[in-house]
Chains A and B, each alone.
Chain A
Amino acid sequence: MGYLGDSLLTAFELILGLDREVRIAVWTSLYTSSCAIVIAALFGVPAGLWLGLKRFHGRQLLVALLNTMMALPTVVVGLVLFGLFSRQGPLGPLGLLFTPLAMIAGQTVLAAPIVANLVLAAVTGADSRIINTALTLGASRLQAAIKLLSEVRFGVMAAVIADFGRVIAEVGVAMMLGGNIRNSTRTMTTAIALETSKGEFAFGLALGIILLSVALVVNLFLNVLQQR
């Protein structure tokens, strides 16, 4: 069958046989990315909403900053947080470096500006009558903002899901802050990089197939949301 065919076969055997290392890498990826995305949404959604509704001096600068943060290279985020979490760094005593918590922190930093920006886009693109309609029905400013968020909820959910797709596929932060430790901080992406370099192509392929499947499910879900 040749090298590629044999590797593909082995990859499917690893997946269908629920190989322990594959399972742990998948679980670590899903766990850290899910935690990061929830925390990022907790910060990003209100920030995007606030920025979308408020008009103040310096708003454009803040939006430009947010756009810049969207394009942050993952290794740069990894580098900065590595400096903070390393033993000599200000957060060194917490002992977070090379733990899943450090990975979650890094992925949150990556994800939050993206969620905020996509929510900002959803809010500014929403029907301008929503807020006034809510106000004239007796809502406070906060209640009207919540109503607006509810009206664009599918856009917001799509933003969060798209962001999850990005975070689970990133490798820089997971590698630099997690350290790619077997059975602890090894994610699908870091495992693919490591195992392939060690010559375990089939193992990397198995994780690659799972990662693609996750991306497919995320995109299918996204399509359903965008049609609503």
Chain B
Amino acid sequence: MQPVITLNDILVTQGDNFKLSVERLALQPRRIYALTGPNGAGKSTLLRVMALLTAPQTGSIEFAGDEPHELARQRQKVTLVEQSPYLFKGSVEDNLSYGLRLRGIDNRERSMRIGATLAIVGLQGFEQRQAKQLSGGESQRVALARALVLKPELLLLDEPTANIDSNSLEGYETLLKGLPEFGVTVVFSTHDPSQSRRLGEEVLRLENGHLINGIHRDSKDSVSNKWSDLYGAEL
């Protein structure tokens, strides 16, 4: 199967400081990858490289089906949700609409997708709520919804459950587990070994900016059928 994204000979430095080196990394479609490693190992840097936000000094990043250097096109395939996501001013709907508008999605489909995605993340009826007035957990879920509504091929999550309380954790993890069946490849960084075991079909470990070979697991749980509202019969 053709990898969703392939990184070759990536080197990232900041001034004289070495940040990250990845000889080769190919992520297979429809899988969940847990990215682990101690603080400062380069997890966020690797996510930002894959999100095309940090340009490596050397190496190449290839997306399936795209010519290299088609940056604008590639950016529409991958979405990163940061640990402390920024929500734009305005309503929740304004936030979810932003990426859809950029893709030229019409009003009707936008509204349908937004409603379905908010239901998936447990924020049904939140469309008109002001984004800046939401709690930390709600903001996190809106940021996830804002990424999911775009149906990305590659979803990158930087410590997605760091700000989520233990009551919401299980629901959030179930949500993530359901994504690969709808064509989404997920990479999430975590400090929690048990979470990487629970969710990660493959574990990517970074140490001192170097990628240690992935560990393969084979476990898939059942998927919430709410996903079909968003993804329909496309997949």
B86 to A130, Cβ gap below 8 A? yes
**A21: chain B residues within 8 A (beta carbon):** none
Instruction: Spot the interface stretch: B96-104, B160-168, B212-220, B223-231.
Output: B96-104
A137 to B102, Cβ gap below 8 A? yes
Instruction: Spot the interface stretch: B7-15, B75-83, B175-183, B195-203.
Output: B75-83
Q: How far is the CB of B167 from chain A (nearest CB, A)?
A: 27
**A143: chain B residues within 8 A (beta carbon):** 102
Could you jot down 13 A-B contacts, CB within 8 Å? A129-B82, A129-B85, A133-B82, A135-B52, A135-B53, A136-B53, A136-B75, A136-B147, A137-B99, A138-B79, A138-B102, A151-B88, A151-B89
Q: How far is the CB of B82 from chain A (nearest CB, A)?
A: 7
A136 to B51, Cβ gap below 8 A? yes
Closest to A133 in B: B86
**B86: chain A residues within 8 A (beta carbon):** 127, 129-130, 133
User: Which of A132, A133, A136, A147 has most chain B Cβ within 10 Å?
Assistant: A136
Instruction: Please name 10 further chain A to chain B contacts, defined as beta carbons within 8 Å, in addition to the given A129-B84, A129-B85, A138-B102, sorted by A numbering.
Output: A127-B86, A133-B82, A133-B86, A134-B98, A136-B53, A136-B78, A137-B147, A138-B76, A138-B103, A151-B89
Contact of A132 (CB < 8 Å), options: B53, B72, B98, B99: B53
**A129: chain B residues within 8 A (beta carbon):** 82, 84-86
Contact of B88 (CB < 8 Å), options: A132, A133, A138, A140: A133
Q: Which residues of B contact A (CB under 8 A)?
A: 51-53, 72, 75-76, 78-80, 82, 84-86, 88-89, 98-99, 102-103, 146-147, 150
Within 8 Å of chain B (Cβ to Cβ): is A139?
yes
**B84: chain A residues within 8 A (beta carbon):** 129
CA–CA, A130 and B102, complex, Å: 16
Interface SS of chain B: loop
A136 to B79, Cβ gap below 8 A? yes
- Total A residues in contact with B, Cβ cutoff 8 Å: 16
**A150: chain B residues within 8 A (beta carbon):** 89
CA–CA, A70 and B66, complex, Å: 48
Closest to B73 in A: A138
CA–CA, A80 and B21, complex, Å: 57
Contact of A137 (CB < 8 Å), options: B52, B72, B146: B146
Contact of A133 (CB < 8 Å), options: B76, B85, B150: B85
Contact of B102 (CB < 8 Å), options: A132, A139, A151: A139
B53 to A138, Cβ gap below 8 A? no
User: Which chain A residues in 117-144 approach chain B with CB under 8 Å?
Assistant: 127, 129-130, 132-140, 143
**B75: chain A residues within 8 A (beta carbon):** 135-136, 138-139
Q: How far is the CB of A131 from chain B (nearest CB, A)?
A: 9
Q: How far is the CB of A185 from chain B (nearest CB, A)?
A: 42
**A147: chain B residues within 8 A (beta carbon):** 88, 98
Complex interface bits, A93-132 against B, C-beta within 8 A gives 1, otherwise 0: 0000000000000000000000000000000000101101
Which 8 A/B pairs are nearest by Cβ-Cβ distance? A137-B99, A129-B86, A138-B76, A136-B80, A133-B86, A138-B102, A138-B99, A136-B51
CA–CA, A134 and B97, complex, Å: 12
B82 to A137, Cβ gap below 8 A? no
**B79: chain A residues within 8 A (beta carbon):** 136-138
CA–CA, A33 and B79, complex, Å: 45
Q: How far is the CB of A126 from chain B (nearest CB, A)?
A: 10
User: Which chain A residues in 4-26 approach chain B with CB under 8 Å?
Assistant: none
Q: How far is the CB of A228 from chain B (nearest CB, A)?
A: 9
